[in-house]
């Protein structure tokens, strides 16, 4: 049997107290149900709001992707206008890009390819636009009253507007207008969307400006590069012309020099062709030593001119068939200094001075005119000394026949290290071995 009191056995007071308890429980239950219903309603509203925000975000995301993939500024601004018109139920949106060079707003963009109307131009130039730009803050007009500053906006049929200065990377890039055809106060969601669109419009404008600037820079760079290339081509052509002219001049000089040297030789009929041969031997040695063509040309000139000083030697000495007396030898030896003095007069022939002055110096220091030794003697002169001696030995003279080439070569080799530079002698022997036409008798 239960311990719970049964009503019919309770007193009246007890029954009243019991009824009051029941009533309290019932009231509590009803209040709880009301709270629950309210909570459910709030949840449903929150869900709906979430859905709406999700839709906004998805639409914005899609739009941002489209904006980011578009590079043409007018098409970009049309894209920017879309979410404003769809999500904000706005009547119109217009972007005026900032022109930093002109320090003013440029013609309206985002009009679907249509040109700016005079009313839009008036809005662009209005003190209201200037004021928003100067303040750097968005400006909302919920109900557009008659206002001389915004006369153009009213004539456009606008009854509410938001003006947003566009700033990217701390730089002013434009002004965005969003307009409604009826009075309108943007709510928190709309302000968030406006802010989002303004940020993207600003970045897009800044990027478009950067792209235009870098395209202009690239074009200027390309122009400069082409100019440089053309300049380099001109320079190259001029250089080649100059080189050709120089080698022509050099060849002409050499021809003249050889004619002069040959003319001088006619005084000593027994040495005919000496100049040409000495020059050829010297160049063959220079090639063996690995010299460049320019140095070989200088050497050829020096070899051709090495005896030019003989022009100042009296005939009785120069053409004497027999042995020379001491005084005659002393005069003969003067040809080295005389040649050098002659060549010093002509700047083009300065490089040949060493050959004329030093071709009778000996490697061991026992030559003339100064008894220089080894490396003190210019290398060109050491080369000419070998070439000159070889030709003198192999050429017939009035008082003796020329030696066979093999004998002359053996004599040259014997004198390596005393009369001649051994390296020059070795180069000469190599040259003669490689080119038998260098032997006057082919022996």
Contacts with Fe ion, 80-119, as mask; x by CB under 5 A: ----------------------------------------
- Rounded Cα distance between 264 and 84, Å, is 103
307 binds Fe ion (CB under 5 A): yes
**Shortest distance (Å) from residue 325 CB to Fe ion:** 18
Per CB under 5 A, the segment of 7-15, 128-136, 242-250, 299-307 that binds Fe ion is 299-307
- Closer residue to Fe ion, CB minimum distance, 56 or 307: 307
- Looking at the DSSP bridge assignments, the partners of residue 346 are none
Decide if 282 contacts 299 (C-beta within 8 A): yes
Per CB under 5 A, the segment of 59-67, 305-313, 319-327, 365-373 that binds Fe ion is 305-313
- Rounded Cα distance between 378 and 389, Å, is 17
Per CB under 5 A, the segment of 133-141, 156-164, 242-250, 301-309 that binds Fe ion is 301-309
380 binds Fe ion (CB under 5 A): no
- Closer residue to Fe ion, CB minimum distance, 307 or 380: 307
**Shortest distance (Å) from residue 231 CB to Fe ion:** 50
Per CB under 5 A, the segment of 214-222, 240-248, 304-312, 348-356 that binds Fe ion is 304-312
Tally of residues, the chain:
443
Position with the least CB separation from Fe ion: 307
Count of residues near Fe ion by CB under 5 A: 1
**Shortest distance (Å) from residue 252 CB to Fe ion:** 26
Spatial CA neighbour of 431 closest among 415, 404, 412, 403: 412
391 binds Fe ion (CB under 5 A): no
- Closer residue to Fe ion, CB minimum distance, 288 or 361: 361
- Rounded Cα distance between 196 and 98, Å, is 19
Applying CB under 5 A, which residues contact Fe ion?
A: 307
């Amino acid at each position: 049997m239960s311990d719970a009191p049964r009503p019919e056995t309770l007193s009246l007071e007890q029954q009243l107290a019991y009824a009051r308890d029941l009533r309290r429980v019932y009231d509590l239950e009803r209040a709880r149900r009301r709270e629950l219903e309210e909570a459910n309603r709030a949840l449903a509203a929150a869900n709906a709001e979430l859905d709406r925000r999700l839709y906004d975000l998805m639409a914005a995301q899609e739009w941002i992707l489209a904006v980011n993939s578009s590079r043409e500024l007018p098409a970009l601004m049309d894209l920017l206008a879309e979410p404003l018109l769809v999500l904000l139920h706005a009547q119109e949106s217009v972007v005026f890009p900032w022109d930093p060079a002109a320090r003013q707003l440029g013609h309206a963009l985002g009009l679907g390819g249509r040109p700016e109307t005079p009313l839009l131009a008036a809005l662009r130039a209005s003190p209201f636009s200037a004021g928003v730009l100067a303040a750097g803050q968005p400006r909302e007009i919920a109900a557009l009253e008659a206002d001389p500053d915004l006369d153009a906006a009213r004539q456009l049929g606008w009854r509410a507007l938001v003006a947003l200065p566009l700033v990217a990377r701390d730089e002013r890039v434009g002004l965005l207008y969003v307009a409604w055809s009826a009075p309108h106060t943007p709510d928190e969601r709309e302000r968030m969307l406006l802010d989002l669109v303004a940020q993207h419009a600003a970045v897009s404008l800044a990027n478009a400006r950067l792209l235009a600037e870098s395209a202009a820079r690239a074009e200027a760079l390309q122009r400069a590069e082409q100019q440089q290339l053309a300049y380099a081509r001109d320079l190259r052509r001029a250089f080649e012309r100059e080189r050709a002219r120089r080698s022509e001049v050099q060849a002409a000089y050499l021809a003249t020099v050889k004619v002069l040297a040959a003319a001088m030789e006619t005084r000593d009929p027994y040495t005919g062709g000496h100049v040409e041969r000495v020059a050829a031997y010297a160049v063959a040695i220079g090639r063996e030593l690995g010299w460049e063509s320019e140095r070989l040309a200088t050497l050829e000139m020096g070899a051709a001119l090495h005896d030019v000083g003989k022009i100042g030697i009296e005939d009785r000495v120069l053409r004497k068939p027999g042995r020379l007396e001491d005084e005659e030898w002393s005069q003969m030896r003067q040809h080295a200094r005389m040649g050098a003095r002659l060549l010093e007069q002509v700047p083009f022939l300065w490089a040949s001075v060493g050959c004329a002055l030093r071709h009778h110096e000996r490697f061991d220091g026992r030559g003339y005119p100064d008894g220089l030794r080894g490396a003190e003697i210019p290398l060109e002169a050491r080369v000419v000394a070998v070439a000159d001696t070889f030709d003198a030995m192999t050429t017939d003279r009035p008082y003796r026949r020329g030696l066979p080439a093999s004998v002359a070569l053996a004599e040259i080799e014997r004198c390596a290290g005393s009369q001649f530079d051994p390296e020059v002698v070795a180069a000469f022997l190599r040259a003669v071995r490689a080119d038998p036409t260098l032997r006057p008798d082919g022996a």
